[in-house]
Amino acid sequence: MLPVIAILLSVARADDGFSRDPEGVGIGILLGEPTGFSAAYRPGGRFWVDGAVAWSFPDFAQFHADACLDLADFRTADIPNTHFPVWVGAGPRLRVGAGTGYDAVNLGIRVPIAMGVWHDKVPIEGWAEIVPVVGVWPRTEMGIDGGIGARIYFPAGRQGPRLSSPEPDPY
């Protein structure tokens, strides 16, 4: 794990056009229940989308996507240029397992509640999430997903204004 972190940090510090905050396209990892690969698209502003391809061996594979809304961006003078955004989202979850019936395939609705951390000069975002899930097919069932993750961001065309640091109106 340390070599992966070292590579991400060395790439993030390179001045070769990487996004300097979590805007654009992000790719990374999600560790928890389930564990997998994460992707996000943040066009700028408060609304964005993310998703993951994840697993919990030997029980299931999971695919999910969420539409997310940044609720707040906390900062502290103790850690300058660092943001602690809080967001919520909603989206579908599909689990495919090795069993039969409900364990074979089930569909649910996720509602992630998360807090992240990122620095103004580094295009890496870290986060922790807890995700209530309502299974809707083939039967109704409540559950919880959760984990921690990190993504590195690459620019994706024209960027919108950031939630935390709006540009002043020049007029």
DSSP string computed for the chain: -HHHHHHHHHHHHS-SS--SSS-EEEEEEEEEESEEEEEEEE-SSSEEEEEEEEEETTTEEEEEEEEEEEEEEE--TTSTTEEEEEEEEEEEEEEEESSSGGGTEEEEEE--EEEEEEETT--EEEEEEEEEEEEEESS-EEEEEEEEEEEEEE--SS----SSSPPPP--
Copy the structure tokens of residue 72: 């707040």
Distance of CA 35 to the CA centre of its chain: 13
Q: Which residues pair with 137 in a beta bridge?
A: 107
Mean pLDDT of 6-33: 64
pLDDT at position 158, please? 53
Alpha-carbon gap, residue 28 to 90, rounded angstroms: 20
Position 1 confidence tier, pLDDT thresholds 50, 70, 90? very low
pLDDT at position 103, please? 66
pLDDT at position 128, please? 97
pLDDT at position 136, please? 92
Report whether pLDDT(17) > 90.
no
Length of the chain equals 171
pLDDT at position 15, please? 44
Alpha-carbon gap, residue 150 to 102, rounded angstroms: 31
CATH class, 2-154 region = mainly beta
pLDDT at position 102, please? 55
Report whether pLDDT(80) > 60.
yes
pTM of the full predicted structure? 0.72
Tell me the pLDDT of the chain averaged across its residues.
81
Alpha-carbon gap, residue 5 to 114, rounded angstroms: 22
**Listed range (90-94, 97-101, 110-114, 162-166) with the worst mean pLDDT:** 162-166
pLDDT at position 44, please? 82
To which residue do tokens 């060395």 refer? 10
- Among 13-22, 25-34, 154-163, top mean pLDDT goes to 25-34
Mean pLDDT of 49-75: 91
> By C-alpha distance, which of 81, 78, 84, 73 is closest to 122?
81
Q: pLDDT, tens digit, for every residue of 105-123?
A: 889 999 999 999 998 888 8
Domain limits of the chain?
2-154
Cis peptide before 3 (omega within 30 of 0): no
pLDDT at position 14, please? 42
Q: Which residues pair with 147 in a beta bridge?
A: 32, 129
Contact 30, 65 (CB under 8 A): no
Copy the structure tokens of residue 121: 């000069």
